[in-house]
Amino acid sequence: MLVEGLRRLEYRGYDSAGVAVLSQGRVESRKKSGKLMKLLDVLEAEPLPESPTGIGHTRWATHGGPTDVNAHPHLAGGGKLALIHNGIIENFAELKAELAEGGHSFASDTDTEVAAVLLADCYERLLPSEVAWGGLTVAMQMACQRLEGAFTLLAVHADQPGVVVAARRNSPLVVGLGDGENFLGSDVSAFINYTRRAVELGQDQIVTITPESVEITDFYGAPAQGREYEIDWDASAAEMGGYASFMEKEIHDQPDAVAQTLLGRSGPDGSLALDEMRIDADRLNAVNKIIVLACGTSAYAGQVAKYAIEHWCRIPTEVELSHEFRYRDPILDQDTLVVSISQSGETMDTLMAVRYAREQGAMTVAICNTNGSTIPRESDAVLYTHAGPEIAVASTKAFLAQITAAYLLGLYLAQLRGNKFQGEIKDVLADLAKTPDKIQQILDNSGQIKDLARSMSESRSVLFLGRHVGFPVAMEGALKLKELAYIHAEGFAAGELKHGPIALIEEGQPVFVVVPSPRGRNSLHAKVVSNIQEVRARGAKTIVIAEEGDEAVRAYAEHVFYIPETPPLLAPLLATVPLQIFACELATAKGYDVDQPRNLAKSVTVE
Ligand code: AGP
C-alpha cells in the first residue's frame, strides 16, 4: 500500500524513496536513493514484516544530496521513532547545534533528521501522563512550536502501535477517511485507490490517525476541525488511459478540460454565474487594478489573460512572477484585485505572494486546478479549473483551463461593471464554447507536426516568436521544449527581434512563428509576416502556426500548421496545442521521460 501510494506520487519528481512500518514494538525502515525501483529491490532483498501501520516518502533533495543516508524516513530516539518530511526547516542549523549540545548525534546532512531528533527529544521529555494520553501527538506539538519554515511531517513511534501523527505548515497534507483504516498524503492521489472521502487541513495543524479515529489539534493542543470533502475524480482519471504517457493523455484531455471549466458557469440568458466568487459586488466594482500572480506556465496563462481582461474590463492588469512580486515593494491596496493562477495550489512562491497581498488589504482570487489545496483556501474566492488531475510535470491542459477560467473572470467583471453588453458577453461565451471542438480538430491532425518534431530531434536551439496574445504562447512553446527535450529555446515578442535577438539568426536556425488571424481591422498579421521575412532573409527555417485560409504566410514558411478560425483573443487556446505536441514528440524521439523531466518537480512547494 505504501509503495503503491508512492508510485502515485512519482509525478511530483523525486530522487530517493523510503518506507517505515511498526511491527512487534519496533520500527522497521528501508530507504534508497534513486527511483522507486531501487527501493523495491531493497525490499525484495530485505522484506519488511507485515504491518497495518506505516509511512512512505519520495524525496526531492533540498538540504544534502540524493543519497541513501539522506533519504527519508529518518530514525531517532534509539531507532524507536521514524519521521518523513516535505518542505524546508529554516532554523535547522540552530536546532542542530542545540541538540548536539544536548548530546545528540546525526547521521545525515538533512534538516529532516534534525526534526526527527528534536521530536524524539521532545518525546523523551514527556511526563508519564502525556505519554499515556498520546505521547507522539504531544511531542509533535512541542516540536512544531520550535520549527520555522515550511513542513509536512509524518511520524510513527514504536511505543504507539497503530498511530501516525502528522503536522503541516505551508506545505500540503490531506487526510483520507477509510472504513477501519485512515490515510495521510501530500495529495489525494496517494490514497485515491482506497477512499474518495478526504479532509483538508488548515495551517499549523497536527493530525493523529488510527484505524478508527482522526484527531486534529493546533500546535498547542487545542482541538481543531478539518473540512471533509468528496474527491471529484477517481483513480482511473489519474491513469494514462491508453496513452504512452500522462503528457500525451493530458494534451488530448484539453478539449474536455476547457469544456469542463466552462460548464455550469453561464445561465440560460448568457449571463455569467461564478458562484465561488465570494467577493461582494461593490468591492469588485471598486477594483481599480488587477495583479496576476503565478509562476512558469501559469504565469504565461496570466499574460494571455491580461490582454483580454484589459480589453473587456478596462482595468489596468499587471502580471507578476510570484517570486519577484513581494520583493519589489509593489503598489496595492484594498481596491486591488490579486488573481493567483496555480495548477497545484501549493506553489510556495505564489502562496507567499498571495499572503503578502492579503496583508496589504487586497482582495484575492485563486484560479486553481486542485480542490482543497492551500492557495484557494487562503484566498477570498476561488475559480476552480476543472481540467482533472494533471500528473505530468510539464503543464498542458491546466494551461488552457487557466486561460479559460481567467477569461470567465474577465467577462464576469465586465458584466458586473457594465463594461460590456450582455449580448457581447454571450457572443464571447459562444465562441469559447466552440473551442473544445477546434482543439480536437488540431489533435486529430497532429501527424504533420509530429513528423516535423522527429525530424528535428538533433536541434540545438529553437526560437519562438509571437505578438499580442501570441507572445505568451511563444514563451510557453519555448518552455515546453526546454522542460521536455532539454533544448535551449527562447520565446520573443516578434516586434522585439530587430532590437537585438535577430543577431541570433543564422543559416538553418529553426524559428516558430505564431501568426495572428489576418481577419479584423487592426490585425497585426502584416507586421508578423514582415517579421517572418526578416528572419527568413537571414537563413532561418520558419515554422508557422497560422489560421486556416491564411495563404499569405505560405511564401515565407518552410512549414505551415493551420489552426481553425477563432476570434483573436481566443487564439492561444488553439495555437498552443501544436507547440505542446511538437515538444512532447521531439522529447519522445530523444527517448526522454516526458512525464518526469529531469530536475523538475510537479509542485514546487519550497521557495
Ligand atoms: C510548467 O510546465 C511547469 N511545470 C511549471 O512552470 C509550473 O507551471 C509552475 O511551477 C507553476 O506551478 P503551479 O501552476 O502549480 O503553481
Report the alpha-carbon distance of residue 197 to residue 229 in Å, rounded.
6
Place of cell 522497521: 28
Q: How many CB atoms lie within 10 A of CB 537?
A: 11
The cell numbers describing 561, all together, are 500548421
Tell me what percent of the residues of the chain surpass a pLDDT of 90. Answer: 80
- Mean residue pLDDT of the chain comes to 93
Ligand 1 atom closest to 395 (CA): 2
User: pLDDT, tens digit, for every residue of 459-475?
Assistant: 999 999 999 999 999 99
Ligand 1 atom closest to 398 (CA): 14
User: Which of 235, 267, 299 marks a domain boundary?
Assistant: 235
What angle is formed at CA 68 by the lines to CA 65 and CA 72, rounded to 5 degrees?
A: 85
> Any idea how long the chain is?
607
Residues with CB under 6 A from ligand 1: 295-298, 342-344, 347, 350, 393-395, 483, 603-604
Residue 607 included in any domain: no
Report the alpha-carbon distance of residue 434 to residue 572 in Å, rounded.
14
Same domain? 431 vs 463 = no
User: pLDDT, tens digit, for every residue of 318-342?
Assistant: 999 999 998 999 999 999 999 999 9
* Distance (Å) from CA 519 to ligand 1 centroid: 33
Tell me the best of 246, 251, 293, 295 to mutate to test the pocket of ligand 1, counting ligand atoms within 8 Å of each CB and taking the most.
295
Domain, as residue range, for 285:
257-438
**Least confidently predicted of 146-150, 292-296, 448-452, 536-540:** 146-150
* Distance (Å) from CA 204 to ligand 1 centroid: 25
* Distance (Å) from CA 110 to ligand 1 centroid: 26
Q: How many CB atoms lie within 10 A of CB 275?
A: 8
User: Which of 438, 469, 498 marks a domain boundary?
Assistant: 438
Report the alpha-carbon distance of residue 607 to residue 594 in Å, rounded.
24
Report the alpha-carbon distance of residue 564 to residue 579 in Å, rounded.
15
Tell me the best of 186, 250, 292, 343 to mutate to test the pocket of ligand 1, counting ligand atoms within 8 Å of each CB and taking the most.
343
Same domain? 374 vs 471 = no
* Distance (Å) from CA 298 to ligand 1 centroid: 6
Residue 391 included in any domain: yes
The cell numbers describing 154, all together, are 509524518
* Distance (Å) from CA 250 to ligand 1 centroid: 15
Ligand 1 atom closest to 600 (CA): 4
Same domain? 31 vs 179 = yes
203 vs 479, higher pLDDT: 479
Same domain? 432 vs 450 = no
User: pLDDT, tens digit, for every residue of 34-67?
Assistant: 989 999 999 999 999 999 999 999 987 767 778 9
Return the pLDDT at 9: 81
Same domain? 345 vs 477 = no
**Is residue 448 a contact partner of residue 565, using CB atoms and an 8 Å limit?**
no
Return the pLDDT at 84: 97
Return the pLDDT at 520: 77
* Distance (Å) from CA 344 to ligand 1 centroid: 8
Residue minimizing CA distance to atom 4 of ligand 1: 394
The per-residue DSSP string of 207-230 comes to EEE-SS-EEEEETTS-B--PEEEE
Tell me the best of 390, 396, 604, 606 to mutate to test the pocket of ligand 1, counting ligand atoms within 8 Å of each CB and taking the most.
604
* Distance (Å) from CA 4 to ligand 1 centroid: 25
Amino acid at 490: E
Residue 240 included in any domain: no
* Distance (Å) from CA 17 to ligand 1 centroid: 23
Residue 42 φ then ψ, to 5°: -65, -40
Return the pLDDT at 211: 97
User: Which of 419, 438, 457 marks a domain boundary?
Assistant: 438
User: pLDDT, tens digit, for every residue of 517-542?
Assistant: 999 777 899 999 999 999 999 999 99
Q: Is the pLDDT of residue 604 over 70?
A: yes
Same domain? 465 vs 420 = no
User: pLDDT, tens digit, for every residue of 544-587?
Assistant: 999 999 999 999 999 999 999 999 999 999 999 999 999 999 99
Return the pLDDT at 272: 86
100 vs 9, higher pLDDT: 100
Report the alpha-carbon distance of residue 206 to residue 216 in Å, rounded.
6
Kindly provide the b/e burial profile for residues 496-534, where b requires at least 16 CB atoms within 10 angstroms of the residue's own CB: ebeeeebebbeeebbbbbbbbbbeeeeebbeebbebbeb
Phi-psi region of 144 (alpha: psi -120 to 50; beta: other; left: phi over 0): alpha
Across the range 400-411, mean pLDDT stands at 97
Across the range 374-378, mean pLDDT stands at 92
Residue 221 included in any domain: yes
Confidence of residue 8 (pLDDT cuts 50, 70, 90): confident
DSSP three-state, residue 538: coil
Q: Is the pLDDT of residue 268 over 80?
A: no
User: pLDDT, tens digit, for every residue of 189-210?
Assistant: 889 889 999 999 998 999 999 9
Across the range 405-415, mean pLDDT stands at 95
Tell me the best of 11, 247, 297, 402 to mutate to test the pocket of ligand 1, counting ligand atoms within 8 Å of each CB and taking the most.
297
Q: Any idea of the CA torsion for 326, 331, 337, 339, to the nearest 10 degrees?
A: -30
Give the number of domains in the chain: 3
Same domain? 62 vs 169 = yes
* Distance (Å) from CA 384 to ligand 1 centroid: 16
Confidence of residue 130 (pLDDT cuts 50, 70, 90): confident
Residue minimizing CA distance to atom 3 of ligand 1: 394
Integer CA distances (angstroms), 222 to 135, 176, 322, 386, 461, in order: 15, 22, 33, 36, 57
Cβ neighbourhood burial of 220 (10 Å; 0-12, 13-18, 19+): exposed
**Is residue 230 a contact partner of residue 196, using CB atoms and an 8 Å limit?**
yes
Please, which residues have CB within 8 angstroms of residue 187's CB and are 6 or more apart in sequence?
Answer: 9, 12, 172, 174, 370, 373
Place of cell 538533433: 458
Tell me the best of 247, 323, 375, 395 to mutate to test the pocket of ligand 1, counting ligand atoms within 8 Å of each CB and taking the most.
395
Residue 600 included in any domain: no
Q: Is the pLDDT of residue 13 over 70?
A: no
Confidence of residue 423 (pLDDT cuts 50, 70, 90): confident
CATH of the domain at 476: 3.40.50.10490
Same domain? 364 vs 288 = yes
Residue 209 φ then ψ, to 5°: -115, 145
Return the pLDDT at 511: 98
Q: Is the pLDDT of residue 395 over 80?
A: yes
Across the range 280-288, mean pLDDT stands at 93
Residue 470 included in any domain: yes
Nearest to 543 by CA among 598, 482, 477: 477
The cell numbers describing 550, all together, are 491564411
* Distance (Å) from CA 604 to ligand 1 centroid: 8
**Least confidently predicted of 43-52, 170-179, 474-483:** 170-179
* Distance (Å) from CA 295 to ligand 1 centroid: 6
Distance between first and last Cα of the chain: 31
CATH of the domain at 162: 3.60.20.10
C-alpha radius of gyration, the chain, whole number: 26
Residue 606 included in any domain: no
* Distance (Å) from CA 585 to ligand 1 centroid: 20
- 460 alpha carbon, distance to own chain's centre: 28
Report the alpha-carbon distance of residue 390 to residue 251 in Å, rounded.
10
Residue minimizing CA distance to atom 16 of ligand 1: 342
The per-residue DSSP string of 271-304 comes to -B--TT--S-HHHHHT--EEEEEE-HHHHHHHHH
Same domain? 428 vs 456 = no
Please, which residues have CB within 8 angstroms of residue 537's CB and are 6 or more apart in sequence?
Answer: none
Confidence of residue 238 (pLDDT cuts 50, 70, 90): low
Q: Is the pLDDT of residue 256 over 80?
A: yes
Return the pLDDT at 62: 67
Return the pLDDT at 65: 78
Tell me the best of 298, 367, 484, 596 to mutate to test the pocket of ligand 1, counting ligand atoms within 8 Å of each CB and taking the most.
298
Same domain? 160 vs 29 = yes
Residue 287 included in any domain: yes
Q: Is the pLDDT of residue 26 over 70?
A: yes
Same domain? 87 vs 9 = yes
Same domain? 328 vs 428 = yes
